[in-house]
Structure 1
Amino acid sequence: MKLKKTALVAAAVAGLLTSGYAAAASEQFIGLPSYRVGPFGSNGASLYGGWIDYMAMINERDGGINGVKLSWEECETEYNNARGVECYERLKGKGATGNTVFQPLSTGITYSVLEKVAQDKIPMVTIGYGRTDAADGRVFPWVFPMISTYWTQASAIINYIGSKEGGVDKLKGKKIGLLYHDSAYGKESHAILDKLASKHGFTVEKIAVASPGNEQQAQWLQIRQAKPDYVILWGWGVMNATALRTAQKTGYPREKVIGVWWSGSEEDTVPAGDAAKGYTAAGFNVAGANYPVVQDIQKHVYGKSKGNMEDKGRVGSVLYNRGVVHGIITVEAIRKAQEKYGKGKALTGEQVRWGFENLDIDDKRLAALGAAGFMPDLKITCADHEGAGKVKFQQWDGAKWTVVSDWISGDQTVVRPMIEESAAAYAKEKGITPRDCSKEM
C-alpha cells in the first residue's frame, strides 16, 4: 500500500480546513482537532479521513440524522498540546449550537482540556486513548474513554501473551519489555503493568523512547542485554516502524513483539518492510474494505468523487477504519440524544453528552450499521464510560493484517478497582462530589 500525504496538507498548515458543508441552524456541528502534518501526520490523515468520510456518507446516503445534516471544520493541531488547546477554544463556539463533541486523538491534548470541557459543557470522547480513570463517569461525566482504555488494553495484551504460553499462570518468572513513547500516552501503561506483574509473577523492563522515536539503537541494545521473553511496543508514528527495523537488526524476533493499537496499522508496518513480518498488534477495530459500512462509503462518497482520502488505497486500512468507528459512535450518540431531545433537531453539547452516556450499540445494531465484526458491541452507562473493554489481535503477514484472535477482554477485577481508586483520588484533589448514578437512571 502506497502511503502519501493528502492534498489537504498545504491547507492544514494554514490552520483551518472546512468540509464544504457550511454550518446552518438545521445542521449539527462537529469540530475536528485534526493533525495532517508533522511526524504523526500520516496517521492523522487516515483517522480523520475515515471519520469525515463516514459523516459525509450519512449526509449523502441518509440525508443526515433524521434530516439533520452534519457539518464540520478541521483545526490543525500538529499533535501539539498547546495548539490542541488553541483549536479547542477556536472550535467551541462554532455552529448554531457550538461544538457538540471534542475528540483530540491525543492523550496530551486530552489532559490539557480535561477541566475545560466540563466548564463549557462539551463532551470529550477519547476512544482508545486519554486518561484511563475517566472511565469512572461518576467523577468524569464529560469524558468518555470508550471501547477500551489503556489499562484494559494492557491487561488484554498480558492475557494474549498468557494464551501463547499456555495460560497467564505460565507468566510467572517471565520478563516482559515495555518499549514506550516517552509521553503521557506512553506512561499510561506503567501502573497497570506493574499491578499485573505483581499478580502474575513476571517482571517489566520499562524502556523509554523520546518523541518522535526515529533513533532507537540504545534502547534495542538494552533489550538485547535484558533478553525479555516478549516486548510490548507502546509507540506512535515513526517510532513503530523504527522499532521493527531495529528489532530485526538486533536479532529480536518480531513474533515476540506485541503492539498496542496505536502501533498496529499499515502506517507502521509498510515502512518497516520485511522487518514487520510476523509482528502482532492489538486493535479495537479490524482492517478490511469488505465490510458493508466501508462499501457504502465507497458507493455514496467516493462514487460521487467526494472522498476525503487522496490515496484511495488506504480506505479499509486499520487507521481509516478506526476513523469510521469514531464516525459511527459520534453519529449513534447524536441519534440517541435526538430520541430524548427531539428528532430532526440540532442539539447542544450537553444534550449530545446524554446521548454518549446512554449509548447502546449491540450486535443487532452493529449488523444494521454494516459493522458486524468491525468493532465490538458497546454499552455506556453513568458509572462506566468505557464499555466494551475488548480487543482483537492481528498479525502482519508481510502484505496485510490477519486476525489471529477473538475479542479478548482485560482483567476487570484488576482494572476497574484501579480506575475507581484513581478517580476517587482525583475527585478528592479537585473537590468533586461524585455523581450518584442511581439518580441518573
Structure 2
Amino acid sequence: LQIRQARPDNVLLWGWGVMNSTALKEAQATGFPRDKMMGIWWAGAEPDVKDVGMGAKGYTALTLQHGAEPGSKVVKDMLDLVHAKGQGTGPKEEVGSVLYMRGLISAMLGVEGVRKAQERYGKGKVMTGEQTRWGLENLNLDQKMLDGMGFAGVMRPVQTSCLDHMGSSWVRVHQWDGAKWTFSSDWYQSDDKVLRPMVMLASGKYAEEKKLTPRTPDQCKM
C-alpha cells in the first residue's frame, strides 16, 4: 500500500527470508517494475526468487563478492572430486548456487585462518580460539592463492587485520533473468571515507553500552 501511494522511482529491498519473495510477488501483483527493485546481500539468492520465477525477472541484488558461480573451477572440482565419487552431502543441483558459494567461501576462509595460525603457532597443532582469531586477523589471500584454490573470478583478494576484519569492500550486482542469476555490473568498491566513521561510531557506542574495552593498536600486534 505504501509503495502504491508513494509511487517511488526505485525500491531498496532490505529483506531476509520469505519477506523477499513476498515483496516480489506483491510488486508483480501491483505492477511495480521489478527492474526498479534492488535487494541487499540477504535478498539476492535463489530461494528469494525461484518461486516467483519470471515474475521476478529484472530484479537485481548486491552480491558482496560472489554470486552464482556454476562455471568456476572450485565448483567443477567439487562436482568432479566429491559428487562424482558419491561423497556429496547436499543436493548436487545446488552446487554453485549463491547460498552454496556463500558457505563454500566461509569454509575456505575458516580453513585458511587456521592454516595461517599454524604458520605462527605450530604446523599440525590444534589451534586455540585466540590463535585461530590471530590467523583470521592476518589473512593475505592474493590473486595467485585464490586462483590456486579455484576461486578465480569468484572473489577479489582479501587481506585482514586486527583493525579491519572485513578485508575487502568490493561488490557486484547480479540480475535475475527469470531462471538464473547473471552479473549485470562490474566491480564496485565502497567509499571508506564515508563508511569508516559510521562503523567506528556505531561500534564505539556498542562497546560503551556493553562495557567492552576495544583492543588497542599495540594489542593488535601481539
Task: Please indicate the TM-score interval, normalised by the length of the shorter structure.
Answer: over 0.9
**For residues 117-128 of structure 1, what are the structure 2 equivalents within 5 Å?**
none
Tell me which of 397, 410, 427 is aligned to 2:190: 410
Q: 1:303 to 1:235 in 2, by over 3 A?
A: same
Query: 2:50 maps to which residue?
Result: 270
Unaligned runs of 5+ in 1: 1-220
Tell me which of 55, 77, 81 is aligned to 1:300: 81
Deviation at 1:439, TM superposition (A): 4.7
SS in 1 for 2:173: strand
Tell me which of 227, 244, 258 is aligned to 2:24: 244
Query: 1:104 maps to which residue?
Result: none
Query: 1:289 maps to which residue?
Result: 70
Query: 1:58 maps to which residue?
Result: none
Deviations 1:340-376 (A, max 9, x none): 1111122111111111010111222111111012123
SS in 1 for 2:12: strand
Deviations 1:119-175 (A, max 9, x none): xxxxxxxxxxxxxxxxxxxxxxxxxxxxxxxxxxxxxxxxxxxxxxxxxxxxxxxxx
The answer to whether residue 221 in structure 2 is matched with residue 429 in structure 1 is no
Query: 1:235 maps to which residue?
Result: 15
SS in 2 for 1:385: coil
Query: 1:382 maps to which residue?
Result: 162
What is the percentage of aligned positions where both structures have the same residue?
51
Contact 2:53–2:179 (CA<8 Å) still a contact in 1? no
Normalized against structure 1, the TM-score is what?
0.48
SS in 2 for 1:289: coil
Normalized against structure 2, the TM-score is what?
0.94
Contact 2:37–2:60 (CA<8 Å) still a contact in 1? yes
Distance in 1 of aligned mates of 2:213 and 2:179: 51
The answer to whether residue 146 in structure 2 is matched with residue 362 in structure 1 is no
Distance in 1 of aligned mates of 2:214 and 2:48: 40
Distance in 2 of aligned mates of 1:293 and 1:273: 27
**For residues 6-85 of structure 1, what are the structure 2 equivalents within 5 Å?**
none
**For residues 34-433 of structure 1, what are the structure 2 equivalents within 5 Å?**
221-284=1-64, 285-309=66-90, 311-433=91-213
Amino acid aligned to 1:367: D
Distance in 1 of aligned mates of 2:196 and 2:5: 35
Amino acid aligned to 1:275: G
Distance in 2 of aligned mates of 1:357 and 1:291: 27
The RMSD of aligned alpha carbons is 1.4
SS in 2 for 1:352: helix
Distance in 1 of aligned mates of 2:109 and 2:67: 16
Q: 1:349 to 1:253 in 2, by over 3 A?
A: same
Q: 1:261 to 1:427 in 2, by over 3 A?
A: closer
Q: Which moved more, 1:370-379 or 1:256-265?
A: 370-379
Contact 1:286–1:375 (CA<8 Å) still a contact in 2? no
Distance in 2 of aligned mates of 1:275 and 1:338: 50
Distance in 1 of aligned mates of 2:127 and 2:8: 52
Distance in 1 of aligned mates of 2:178 and 2:40: 18
Amino acid aligned to 1:428: E
Contact 1:233–1:258 (CA<8 Å) still a contact in 2? yes
Contact 1:389–1:410 (CA<8 Å) still a contact in 2? yes
SS in 2 for 1:258: strand
SS in 2 for 1:299: helix
Deviation at 1:275, TM superposition (A): 1.1
Query: 1:115 maps to which residue?
Result: none
Contact 2:140–2:160 (CA<8 Å) still a contact in 1? yes
SS in 1 for 2:166: coil
